[in-house]
Every structure is written in structure tokens, then in C-alpha cells.
């Protein structure tokens, strides 16, 4: 199985500060289709996960543009340009290139 390693485990930031979360996979997520199925989701406290980013860098329509995703092959990054209160929760990366699909352990964003 592909191992997804997220760092840091937690982040404590003030509103307005930038945030960066790393996600590394144990093998390349570039699929035979030429697409890279690396996704990000956010789980706010007490809620189910919500979609954020798919195929490394594509934001879903409802996601604010302060979020961005980048990376390739085995190294990926989620960035928030300026953290807002509604951004707190746990961020998970997950890969949909290789079966079985696998998730990172999560990064908890807390507000300072």
C-alpha cells in the first residue's frame, strides 16, 4: 500500500498567518492516465470531511482562493495564504492513483 506521510502533525497559527502542510507518498502518484490523483480534504470539529482540492492543485468551486495545492510525483503541499477562523480542523491528504486508496494521518490546524 502507498504510505502517505503528512507533516506537521499540528499547526498553531494566528488569523492572517500563512500555513503550509506537506504530504509525501511512498511511491509516485502519477497515474498511467497522466493524471495525479492527490486530494485534500478538511474535517472541521464535529463534522464530516469536506472536499478542498483534487488532482494536486484544482480547487473545488466553493473553496476560497486563499487555498492552493502544488507538487508532483511524491511530494505535495497545501498552502493557506492567510488563515481564517473557519479554516480550523484536520487536513488530510489522500491518494486515488493506486489501490487501495490511502490517507495521510492528518494535520490539525489550531488557532493561536
Partner 1 sequence: EVQLVESGGGLVKPGASLKLSCVASGFTFSDYWMSWVRQTPGKTMEWIGDIKYDGSYTNYAPSLKNRFTISRDNAKSTLYLQMSNVRSEDTATYYCTRPFAYWGQGTLVTVSS
Residues that bind partner 1 (CB under 8 A): 37, 39, 41, 48-51, 54, 60, 90, 92, 94, 96, 99-103, 105-106
Close Cβ partners of 64 (under 8 Å, ≥ 6 residues apart): none
Dihedral (CA of 18, 89, 38, 57) sign: negative
* Minimum CB distance to partner 1 smaller for 33 or for 48: 48
CB of 15 to partner 1, least distance (A): 24
- CA dihedral defined by 102, 106, 56, 31, rounded to 10 degrees? -10
Shortest reach from residue 39's CB to partner 1, in Å? 6
CB of 16 to partner 1, least distance (A): 27
Amino acid at each position: 500500500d502507498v504510505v502517505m506521510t503528512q507533516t506537521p502533525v499540528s499547526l498553531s497559527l494566528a488569523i492572517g498567518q500563512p500555513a503550509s502542510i506537506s504530504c509525501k507518498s511512498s511511491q509516485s502518484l502519477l497515474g498511467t492516465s497522466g493524471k495525479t490523483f492527490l486530494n485534500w480534504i478538511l474535517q472541521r470539529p464535529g463534522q464530516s470531511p469536506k472536499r478542498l482540492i483534487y488532482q494536486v492543485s484544482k480547487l473545488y468551486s466553493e473553496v476560497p482562493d486563499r487555498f492552493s495545492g502544488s507538487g508532483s510525483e511524491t511530494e505535495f503541499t497545501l498552502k493557506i495564504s492567510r488563515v481564517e477562523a473557519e479554516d480550523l480542523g484536520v487536513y488530510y491528504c489522500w491518494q486515488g492513483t493506486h489501490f487501495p486508496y490511502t490517507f495521510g494521518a492528518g494535520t490539525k490546524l489550531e488557532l493561536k
